[in-house]
Amino acid sequence: MKPTRFLILTILFVLLLFHANVSAQDYTQWNLPEGAKARLGKGTITGDIQYSPDGSLLAVPSSIGVWLYDADTSQEVNLLVGHTAPISAIAFSPNGNTFAAGSTDGTIRLWNPRTGEQKASPRGHNRGSITSLAFSPLSQIDLLASGSSDKTIRLWGASTGNYITTLMGHTGPVTAVAFSPDGLMLASGGGHKDNTIRLWTANDNFRNFRLTVTTLAGHEYGVTSVAFSSDGRMLASGSSDDTIRLWDPYTEAHKATLTAHTLGVTSVAFSPDGQTLASAGADETVRLWDPATETLKTTFTGHIGWNTSIAFSPDGRTLASAGDDQMIQFWDAVTFQHKPTITGHTFPVNEIAFAPDGQIFASVGDDKAIRLWAADTGQLQDTLTGHGGRVFSVAFSPDGQTLSSGGGWGDNAIRLWDVHAGQPKMPITSHKHGVESIMFSPDGSTMASGSWDSTVRLWDANTSEHKATLRAGATVFTVAFSPDSRTLASGGRDNAIHLWDVERGEHLVSLEEHTRLVDAVAFSPDGGTLASGSWDNTVRLWNIQTEQSYVTLMGHTSRVTSVVFFPDGKTLASGSWDDTIRVWDIQTGQLQATLIGHTAGVNTLALSRNGGTLASGGDDSTILLWEFTPIEPKIVVDVNSDGVVNIQDLVLVASHLGETGLSLGDVNGDGVVNIQDLVLVASRFGDS
């Protein structure tokens, strides 16, 4: 009996381990936008973190939604999405049954944090981002306060989301709001050019709004955070002036100024017993203070970059901190020991490239690293480090053996990597400024790099020897080789596309129709068409033979940052800072689909070789993998639409010979009416 019981327990243990491992990966599938099959990355941490009142959950606001973690295991529990922009403020109700999230889109949403069900959506602030949220500590008061960059505070019904009133008086953005423990006072902090704390006092629990307003002045720069002690007898304020001020909120007396941070204080929080005050700063430290003696107890280091937020667990034993390094660190607030860290939040994604065999793809971003991902599972395979700054560009060699990456400002280097070994080769450091774009020629002989130093440089792809310097005359943001490797296109700050002879290193022609800088160029698979994306919000298609723009694709409402052709050569995808991806039929100029899923600008698009997967990366610090099958364009050879292909159609096409752009006679959709269109119509005589 005992062996059987032991076997059953062993099987159950293994199953639990398997379930935990699977569950840990499930979040890549949570709340995906329509058409997406995976989301890689959790987005950037964008606001103050907070524990639930019972201490079971830790909420983390991000660029894509609110992540809820199990506070004990640090495992992902849920992702709350719905806002159209990054989350900027969060708060739990006193009983933990309602969770509020505010966004830079100016809206507030109320959720059930256990089920993920949205309960209400207050209209929010019409003219500003939500900067801070706070529930009244008294559940019977049913009150939620929101601070905004529009310089106002609004009060809402906490359960219904109904608007109650607006509190005005700050002369700058309201950066922080906090209720006193008895619910009779609301403190608000004013940001840049305001620099004050205002105390809104109500003798009637805010129900009739007979408010007394007091202003606490003393900070030299904007107030970033306010917090009451648990007994309500002390108010702490943090400021960009590097100080923390302690106040008596009832006498309005300034009690002390705490100075130790060497850069701005970003967050302050009292422990539940009021015996400890924690502060986070832009100086990469978290500091613990004794507020009674006004002395520093200890300093935590570990974050790289600003510490943006801190939160005590309800039992006071753990302090969590979030930083610009996109890590959440935990500290024992009693022994001061460091605990395990939550990772997975990332930085903006600047470029993505698929390996030729489609098995892996690479992504680069603002975190100085190159990441290699399995294309089928979305699992991270390797992380390559070596750049000293942001990485702007990445490309695979045609044989898939070498990966090239271009570093941004302050790095300026091209780094080459052995893909299979994950080892760096000798870097190339000839550019004087950041390398914005990099690409290998299809024949594998040449590598091109475009830079902020206004040059395109050509390199021997095998030896890394410098072959030529092409002087573009303005910052180069994008480069692309033609399929035959003989022509290179570059686009940049001068609003033009330049075509170059690769072998001779000579300038061929400038294509000038865009009215703002050109951020993306791509050749069609047959090399006959060049697509360009610009900050003028348009995509243009150019006939390479005639050197003319024959169609302008309009619809994006912000800069176009990326263009990519599908393998069929008839479909084009474009990414934009309007947060969307648009898919176009280039033969008709018609929009096939709009893919909506990023909550910040789309920086890059990449297609797997077979066109089955479209990857997009954006300023929301995520990569979305999309499944999209292009709609097969129908070639219309019955030009006059009379139901039969005959001599009349041939005559009609002939009457348009030589026309470029969208033309009735351009049967094959290559941007020019020529003999090929006549041949196509003639080959279909008699069709009906």
Q: Where are the domains of the chain?
A: 45-169, 349-512, 635-688
Which residues are CB-contacts of 238 (< 8 A; sequence separation ≥ 6)? 223, 224, 225, 226, 244, 265, 266, 267, 268, 279
C-alpha to C-alpha distance for 384 and 402, rounded to whole angstroms: 13
| pLDDT computed for residue 664 by the predictor | 65
pLDDT tens track for 470-485: 999 999 999 999 999 9
| pLDDT computed for residue 6 by the predictor | 46
C-alpha to C-alpha distance for 47 and 66, rounded to whole angstroms: 10
Question: Is CATH 3.40.50.720 correct for 45-169?
Answer: no
| pLDDT computed for residue 22 by the predictor | 37
C-alpha to C-alpha distance for 282 and 243, rounded to whole angstroms: 12
| pLDDT computed for residue 175 by the predictor | 98
Helix (H) or strand (E) holding 649: helix 647-654
C-alpha to C-alpha distance for 613 and 417, rounded to whole angstroms: 24
Residue 472, Ramachandran bin (φ over 0: left; ψ between -120 and 50: alpha; else beta): alpha
| pLDDT computed for residue 63 by the predictor | 96
| pLDDT computed for residue 422 by the predictor | 85
Topology annotation, domain 635-688: Type 1 dockerin domain (1.10.1330)
Residue type for 664, please? L
User: What's the CATH superfamily of 349-512?
Assistant: YVTN repeat-like/Quinoprotein amine dehydrogenase (2.130.10.10)
| pLDDT computed for residue 15 by the predictor | 37
Intrachain domains 349-512 and 635-688 with the same fold: no
In a 10 Å sphere around its CB, with 0-12 CB exposed, 13-18 middle and 19+ buried, how is residue 613 labelled? Answer: buried
Determine contact, residues 455/406, Cβ cutoff 8 Å. Answer: no
Using 70 as the pLDDT threshold, list the residues of the chain that sit under it: 1-25, 203-210, 630-636, 638-643, 649, 660-664, 669-671, 688
C-alpha to C-alpha distance for 450 and 604, rounded to whole angstroms: 16
C-alpha to C-alpha distance for 598 and 614, rounded to whole angstroms: 14
Strands 277-281 and 265-270: antiparallel
Neighbours of 61 (CB within 10 A): 28
Helix (H, G, I), strand (E, B) or coil at 66: strand
Query: Please, which residues bridge with residue 624 across strands?
Result: 39, 616
Strand blocks (E) in 240-306: 243-248, 253-259, 265-270, 277-281, 285-290, 295-301
C-alpha to C-alpha distance for 521 and 511, rounded to whole angstroms: 12
Which residues are CB-contacts of 681 (< 8 A; sequence separation ≥ 6)? 637, 639, 645, 649, 650, 653, 667
